[in-house]
C-alpha cells in the first residue's frame, strides 16, 4: 500500500520552480488550485528530526522525515489513490500517521519507527479517528477518539487505547479491533464535542452537549468515573495545565471581553486572567506549552490577522527574532522542541501561499524548508485588506476586500460576494486561491464575516448563532455597503459560497430580488428540515444535537425552517445558478442540489450543474478543482458580462 519515498521535499520545490509561467500571463486555475507542496510539519520532541507532509505534481501526499543534522530525507509515499494525510510524533523515534483513499475515505491509522520507516504497523482501519494522547506510563500506546466508524469495533464518540506496536502471530495483518487494549467510555449524558489528555498523555477532560448546553467533565482514572466541573456555562476548555488540579479555559464577560484563565477542576473557581481581548475570541486559537518550564508558554489566535501572546521569554524572543527577519509575513509558531531551542514557524499572508522556516536559537540560524507553492513566486497576487460595514440594525461587522488592478469610482468593476461556510467559522486575511482566482479575472471580492462567524464578541459570534436568515441579511448588507462605495458596478454583482456559504448564495438570489446577477453554490443546504434529519447521522453527533436543539426554536418551529429554506422559494429565483456537489457528501446530501436544479429548470431558470463521483463535502481531487473553477470562470464571464480593466503597466 505504501512504499519508500525517494525524493526530498526540496526536490519537489526545485521541480516546481523549473518552469514558472511567464509573469505576463494571468494566473491559471492549474497554478492556483494545485495542492501545496508543503503541508503539516512537526518536530520530534528532542528536535533531532522533522516530519513534513508533502505533495508532488500529481497531487500525491507523502510523509518525509528529515534528520536535522544533515537534512537527509526518508519517508513514505502514498500509492495510487492512497495518501498520507496527517501524522504525530509518539516520541523521539516513532510516529503515527493516517492514510486516506481518494482524499475522501479514512483508510487507516499506522505507526512506524525511525530507521525502519517502511516496516509500518496498521493499528486501526477505516475509522475516522483523532489522536488524544500518548500515555507516558505505557510507551507505545495511543489514545484515539473514534469520530465515525464503519466496522462496529468502536462506538462513535468513545476513546480507545491502542497498542501501536501490536503485531499478530501467524498472520500478515491484524484483524480490526485487535490492537485495542481498553475502552474509555464518555459520560453517560450527552454527546461528546471535546476530549483532552493531560501532560502525561492520560485522558483528562471531556465536554458534551446535553439539555440545551455544554457540560464540562474531569476524568478520575482510579475509579474510572467522570465528575462534572461546576463551571459557568460561558467558560470553554482549551486544555490541561501541568498542575493536574487545573485546566485552561476562556471566559467572556461584558466588562472584560474574552479572558484566558486557569480553572480549578474541583471547585470550578477561576483565577485572574493571564490574557484578555475585548474584541476577539482567544478560545478559537491554540495553546503552546513548554515542557522545559512545565508551564503554559503562550497562545496564538486570530484578530484581523494571526497574533501571538507569549508568557515565557524564550518564546517571545523567538517570535521577535522571526518578525524582524521576515517583516512582510505573518509568522505563526506551529511547533517547537522540548528544550525550547528550536522553533518551527509557518509564514503566511494574503499574498504569500505559505512557507516553513526553522529557527534554532542555540545555533543562531534560520533555515528555510521551502515554499508551499513555489510556482507562484513572482506571480501577480493581489492584496486583501480588512474592512468594516454596518448592518440594517446597527451592528458593526468585519470582512475582507480584494480589488483588481484598475478598479476605481471612474472604472467600477464587477463584484463577487464570497460567503464562507460553517456558519461557525470565519474568513481571514490568509492566502486564498479562490480570492486570487476571482481578482485575477477582474472581479472585486468581498468576504463578509456575518453574525455567527467565530472569533468575535458574543453579540457577533454567539448571540443568535442559529438565526440563519439574519446571517443572510448581514451578507446582503455587506453587498450593498460595497456597492455604495462606487468601486463596483451595481449591475454586475454575483454571490458564491460552499456548504453554509452555498446556502447563503442561493438564499441571496431567492430573497434579494434585483441585487445579484447570478449565483454559484457548492455543496449547499437548501432544505433545512431535510438537513436537520440528516444531522442525526453526522460524524460529530455532539454538534448535530446542538443543531437539533436550537435551529428550529422556539418550540420546534418548522414553519420557520420552511421560511428560511430556498427550496421552498425557487419561484423567486430568476437569475442563472451554477450548482456543484460531490456525490459522496456525508454532510449535505447531494439530493438537495439535484432537487434544487430540477425545481429551477422546471421554472425555466438557466441552471448549470457540476456533480462529481468520489467527491464529498468539497472537491479534493486536483483535476476536479481545476475543472470546477474553469466552469466558474466561464459562468461568471457569461453572466457578469466580463470585466473591463485598465491594463497593468
Q: Which residues pair with 2 in a beta bridge?
A: 78
Residue listed under C-alpha cell 508551499: 372
Q: Which residues pair with 240 in a beta bridge?
A: 247
* Between residues 552 and 161, the one the model is more confident about: 161
**Helix/strand/coil for 599:** helix
Considering the domain boundaries, does residue 262 fall inside one? Answer: no
Of 380, 397, 428, the residue that ends a domain is 380
Considering the domain boundaries, does residue 403 fall inside one? Answer: yes
**Pair (495, 424) in one structural domain:** yes
**Helix/strand/coil for 459:** helix
Whether 534 shows a pLDDT value over 70: the answer reads no
Residue 435 pLDDT grade (very low, low, confident, very high; cuts 50, 70, 90): very high
Q: Is the dihedral of CA 500, 503, 507, 509 positive or negative?
A: positive
Query: Mean of the per-residue pLDDT values for the chain?
Result: 87
Residue 556 pLDDT grade (very low, low, confident, very high; cuts 50, 70, 90): low
Residue listed under C-alpha cell 485487535: 178
Considering the domain boundaries, does residue 88 fall inside one? Answer: no
Whether 171 shows a pLDDT value over 60: the answer reads no
**Pair (411, 451) in one structural domain:** yes
Closest to 373 measured CA to CA, from 25, 55, 51, 40: 55
Phi, psi (degrees; rounded to nearest 5) at 328: -95, 0
The predicted model gives 556-560 an average pLDDT of 62
Whether 168 shows a pLDDT value over 60: the answer reads yes
Percent of the chain with pLDDT over 70: 88
**Pair (390, 475) in one structural domain:** yes
CA distance 333 to 289: 12
**Number of neighbours of residue 191 by Cβ within 10 angstroms:** 18
Residue listed under C-alpha cell 468576504: 447
Considering the domain boundaries, does residue 150 fall inside one? Answer: no
pLDDT value of position 538? 45
pLDDT value of position 240? 95
Q: Is the dihedral of CA 602, 605, 611, 616 positive or negative?
A: negative
Please give the model's pTM, rounded to 2 decimal places.
0.89
Per the structure block, which three cell numbers stand in for 462?
454567539
Selection from 23-37, 164-178, 486-500 with the highest mean pLDDT: 486-500
CA distance 646 to 587: 43
Residue numbers of the domain that contains 321: 288-380
Whether 1 shows a pLDDT value over 50: the answer reads no
CA distance 417 to 383: 17
Whether 259 shows a pLDDT value over 90: the answer reads yes
* Between residues 158 and 582, the one the model is more confident about: 582
**Pair (391, 326) in one structural domain:** no
Closest to 196 measured CA to CA, from 207, 188, 204: 204
- The total of structural domains in the chain comes to 2
**Pair (390, 364) in one structural domain:** no
Prior bond of 170 cis (ω within 30°) = no
Percent of the chain with pLDDT over 90: 61
Of 380, 404, 437, the residue that ends a domain is 380
**Pair (585, 452) in one structural domain:** yes
**Pair (342, 371) in one structural domain:** yes
Q: Which residues pair with 253 in a beta bridge?
A: 257
Considering the domain boundaries, does residue 500 fall inside one? Answer: yes
CA distance 204 to 624: 42
Closest to 448 measured CA to CA, from 471, 470, 467: 471
Of 380, 396, 415, the residue that ends a domain is 380
* Between residues 90 and 15, the one the model is more confident about: 90
**Pair (393, 360) in one structural domain:** no
pLDDT value of position 552? 53
Tell me how far CA of residue 609 lies from CA of 271, 527, 575, 601, 631, in angstroms: 55, 18, 14, 11, 10
Lowest mean pLDDT among 10-24, 275-289, 350-364, 624-638: 10-24
Lowest mean pLDDT among 1-5, 59-63, 349-353, 392-396: 1-5
Is residue 12 a contact partner of residue 56, using CB atoms and an 8 Å limit? yes
Sheet of 257-264: strand order equals: 236-240, 246-253, 257-264, 275-277
Closest to 180 measured CA to CA, from 206, 220, 149: 149
**Helix/strand/coil for 465:** coil
Residue 467 pLDDT grade (very low, low, confident, very high; cuts 50, 70, 90): confident
Considering the domain boundaries, does residue 419 fall inside one? Answer: yes
**Pair (475, 430) in one structural domain:** yes
Cα of 79 vs its chain's centroid, Å: 25
Name the region of 568 (left: φ>0; alpha: ψ -120 to 50; beta: rest): alpha
Q: Which residues pair with 343 in a beta bridge?
A: 336, 359
Give the H or E element holding residue 260: strand 257-264
Per the structure block, which three cell numbers stand in for 430?
490568509
**Pair (395, 490) in one structural domain:** yes
What CATH number is given to the structural domain containing 491? Answer: 3.40.50.1820
The predicted model gives 406-426 an average pLDDT of 94
Phi, psi (degrees; rounded to nearest 5) at 397: -120, 165
Considering the domain boundaries, does residue 458 fall inside one? Answer: yes
Residue 535 pLDDT grade (very low, low, confident, very high; cuts 50, 70, 90): low
Long-range contacts of 604-608 (CB under 8 A, 24+ apart): 605/570, 605/573, 605/574, 605/575, 605/576, 605/577, 606/575, 606/576, 606/577, 607/576, 607/577, 607/578, 607/579, 608/576, 608/577, 608/578, 608/579, 608/635
**Pair (434, 475) in one structural domain:** yes
**Pair (354, 402) in one structural domain:** no
The predicted model gives 386-391 an average pLDDT of 96
Name the region of 185 (left: φ>0; alpha: ψ -120 to 50; beta: rest): beta
Q: What is the pLDDT of residues 303-349, one digit of tens each?
A: 999 999 999 999 999 999 999 999 999 999 999 999 999 999 999 99
Considering the domain boundaries, does residue 276 fall inside one? Answer: no
Amino acid at each position: 500500500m505504501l512504499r519508500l519515498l525517494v525524493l526530498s521535499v526540496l526536490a519537489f520545490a526545485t521541480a516546481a520552480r523549473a518552469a514558472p509561467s511567464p509573469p505576463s500571463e494571468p494566473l491559471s486555475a492549474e497554478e492556483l488550485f494545485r495542492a501545496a507542496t508543503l503541508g503539516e510539519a512537526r518536530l520530534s520532541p528532542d528536535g533531532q528530526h522533522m516530519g513534513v507532509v508533502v505533495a508532488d505534481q500529481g497531487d500525491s501526499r507523502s510523509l518525509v522525515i528529515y534528520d536535522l543534522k544533515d537534512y537527509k530525507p526518508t519517508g513514505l509515499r502514498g500509492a495510487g489513490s492512497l495518501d498520507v494525510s496527517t501524522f504525530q510524533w509518539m516520541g523521539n523515534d516513532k510516529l503515527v500517521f493516517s492514510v486516506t483513499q481518494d482524499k475522501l475515505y479514512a483508510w487507516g491509522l499506522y505507526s512506524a519507527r525511525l530507521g525502519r520507516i517502511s516496516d509500518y504497523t496498521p493499528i486501526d482501519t477505516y475509522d475516522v479517528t483523532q489522536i488524544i494522547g500518548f500515555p507516558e506510563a505505557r510507551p507505545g500506546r495511543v489514545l484515539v477518539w473514534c469520530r465515525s466508524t464503519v466496522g462496529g469495533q468502536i462506538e462513535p464518540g468513545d476513546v480507545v487505547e491502542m497498542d501501536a506496536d501490536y503485531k499478530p502471530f501467524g498472520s500478515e495483518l491484524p484483524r480490526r479491533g485487535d490492537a485495542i487494549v481498553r475502552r474509555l467510555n464518555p459520560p453517560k449524558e450527552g454527546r461528546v464535542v471535546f476530549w483532552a489528555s493531560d501532560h502525561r498523555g492520560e485522558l483528562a477532560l471531556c465536554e458534551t452537549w446535553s439539555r440545551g448546553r455544554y457540560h464540562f467533565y474531569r476524568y478520575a482514572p482510579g475509579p474510572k468515573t467522570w465528575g462534572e466541573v461546576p463551571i459557568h456555562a460561558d467558560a470553554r476548555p482549551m486544555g490541561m495545565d501541568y498542575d493536574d488540579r487545573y485546566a485552561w479555559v476562556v471566559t467572556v464577560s461584558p466588562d472584560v471581553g474574552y479572558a484566558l484563565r486557569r480553572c480549578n477542576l474541583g471547585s470550578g473557581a477561576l483565577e485572574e486572567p493571564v490574557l484578555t481581548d475585548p474584541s476577539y475570541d482567544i478560545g478559537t486559537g491554540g495553546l503552546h506549552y513548554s515542557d522545559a518550564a512545565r508551564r503554559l508558554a503562550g497562545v496564538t489566535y486570530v484578530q484581523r490577522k494571526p497574533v501571538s501572546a507569549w508568557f515565557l521569554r524564550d518564546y517571545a524572543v523567538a517570535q521577535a527574532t522571526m518578525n524582524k527577519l521576515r517583516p512582510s509575513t505573518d509568522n505563526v509558531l506551529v511547533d517547537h522542541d522540548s528544550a525550547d531551542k528550536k522553533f518551527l514557524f509557518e509564514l503566511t499572508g494574503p499574498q504569500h501561499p505559505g512557507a516553513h522556516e526553522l529557527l534554532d536559537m542555540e545555533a543562531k540560524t534560520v533555515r528555510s524548508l521551502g515554499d508551499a507553492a513555489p510556482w507562484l513566486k513572482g506571480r501577480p497576487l493581489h492584496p486583501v485588506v480588512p474592512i468594516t460595514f454596518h448592518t440594517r440594525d446597527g451592528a458593526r461587522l468585519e470582512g475582507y476586500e480584494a480589488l483588481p488592478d484598475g478598479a476605481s469610482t471612474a472604472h467600477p468593476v464587477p463584484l463577487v460576494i464570497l460567503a464562507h461556510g460553517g456558519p461557525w467559522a470565519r474568513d481571514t486575511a490568509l492566502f486564498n486561491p479562490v480570492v486570487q482566482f476571482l481578482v485575477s479575472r477582474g472581479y472585486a471580492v468581498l468576504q463578509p464575516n456575518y453574525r455567527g462567524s467565530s472569533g468575535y464578541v458574543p453579540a457577533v459570534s454567539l448571540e443568535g448563532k442559529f438565526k440563519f436568515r439574519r446571517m443572510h441579511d448581514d451578507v446582503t448588507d455587506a453587498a450593498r455597503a460595497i456597492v455604495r462605495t462606487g468601486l463596483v458596478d451595481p449591475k454586475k454583482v454575483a454571490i458564491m459560497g460552499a456548504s453554509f456559504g452555498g446556502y447563503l448564495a442561493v438564499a441571496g438570489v431567492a430573497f434579494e430580488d434585483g441585487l445579484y446577477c447570478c449565483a454559484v453554490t457548492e455543496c449547499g443546504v437548501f432544505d433545512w428540515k431535510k438537513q436537520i434529519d440528516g444531522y442525526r447521522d453526522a460524524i460529530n453527533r455532539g454538534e448535530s444535537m446542538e443543531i437539533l436543539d436550537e435551529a428550529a426554536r422556539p418550540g420546534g418551529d418548522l414553519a420557520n425552517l420552511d421560511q428560511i429554506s430556498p427550496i421552498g422559494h425557487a419561484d423567486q429565483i430568476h437569475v442563472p445558478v451554477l450548482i456543484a456537489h460531490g456525490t459522496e457528501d456525508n454532510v449535505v446530501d447531494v439530493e438537495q442540489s439535484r432537487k434544487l436544479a430540477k425545481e429551477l429548470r422546471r421554472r425555466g431558470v438557466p441552471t448549470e450543474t457540476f456533480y462529481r463521483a468520489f467527491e464529498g463535502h468539497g472537491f479534493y481531487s486536483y483535476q476536479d478543482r481545476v475543472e470546477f473553477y474553469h466552469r466558474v470562470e466561464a459562468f461568471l464571464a457569461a453572466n457578469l458580462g466580463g470585466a473591463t480593466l485598465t491594463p497593468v503597466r
